[in-house]
Amino acid sequence: MICMLGPSAASTLDIDALRAFLAVADSGGVTSAAERVGRTPAAVSMQLKKLEEILGRPLFDRRPRGMALTRDGEQLRSYARRILTIHTEAVAAFRAPALSGSVRVGLIDDFGGVQLTEALSAFSRIHPDVEVSVALGPTEDLFKRLERGELDFSMLTPGCATPWLTEDALIHEEPLVWTGLCGGCAHERDVLPVALAASGCAWRKQAIEALDRSGRAYRIAYTSEYYIGQKAAISADLAIAPLPRSIVEPEFVVLGPEHGLPTLGTSRIALRWAGPDHRTPAAEALANELIAGFGSAPSLAVA
């Protein structure tokens, strides 16, 4: 039974428990989260129970088809990411060798937000002598820049125009969900208006295939190469859009089968290198810092 008295002054939050909590929050289930953090499902469940006992609040709404964060769970997720970022930065500051040089990295614009911004800031504080150049864009553009040698490595979402390669490292996976405006009615229209990325996007392909299989009438009402385009269409209640669960804005709502919408599967992010010569110590260090920003994947060893 969860104690609802709230945390005592002496309460502390375990780093490993927070890491497990984030893995469950991102994946929506204990089993998949356990695989990510290298623990058994029973051990992860115990860590979640301990967190709930310490905080005196239920963090998850446990459902037959998965686990959804409660309001308190959503609040803890924000704190947990920041705590783990600072923890990783503190450890790295004492372990990190002196690095210099330059690194050119590509990031899909959808995930170029707060978490990765904090990771880049942490890297700069630990390695002030490394010059970092960041390119934001859709996967197809970043893939072409990698091929031309304009980037050292990039985070991509392969799956459509950009296929998965054997050397790609899967660094993050989470549910892809239909997203609409809180209180909006776009999802109730007879012909469903959807906002999608440009052709070649894996999420666009997943959304179209899911709608075609379901038989739901739809139209592509808005197309944009960048996340800001889908966000604008949702905010105006012009359409709904497929987005990874972790980047759903507070003013948006996740829509599902109960709204007559098909499930979409998962969003997977890969890290791809331009080539062995680009895997310098500075580039490896930055790659590990960015991966840590997702709060789930293991470090990449230097080849």
Ranges of each domain in the chain? 15-90
Name the least confident of 63-67, 170-174, 273-277: 63-67
**Contact in structure between 239 and 207 (CB atoms under 8 Å):** no
pLDDT 10s digits, 12-56: 899 999 999 998 988 888 888 888 888 899 999 999 999 999 999
- Residue 84: in which H helix or E strand, if any? helix 71-95
Task: Name residues whose C-beta falls within 8 Å of residue 245's C-beta, 6 or more positions apart in sequence.
Answer: 26, 28, 174, 175, 176, 177, 254
**Contact in structure between 107 and 155 (CB atoms under 8 Å):** yes
pLDDT at 237: 96
- When pLDDT is averaged across residues 162-177 and rounded to a whole number, the result is 88
pLDDT 10s digits, 197-237: 887 788 899 999 999 999 999 999 999 887 888 899 999 99
pLDDT band at 63; cut points 50, 70, 90: confident
- When pLDDT is averaged across residues 106-118 and rounded to a whole number, the result is 70
pLDDT band at 261; cut points 50, 70, 90: very high
**Contact in structure between 262 and 215 (CB atoms under 8 Å):** no
Burial class (CB in 10 A: 0-12, 13-18, 19+), 150: middle
Answer left, alpha or beta for residue 78, where phi above 0 means left and psi between -120 and 50 means alpha: alpha
The CATH architecture to which 15-90 belongs is: Orthogonal Bundle (1.10)
**Mean of the per-residue pLDDT values of the chain:** 85
Task: Name residues whose C-beta falls within 8 Å of residue 254's C-beta, 6 or more positions apart in sequence.
Answer: 177, 178, 179, 245, 248
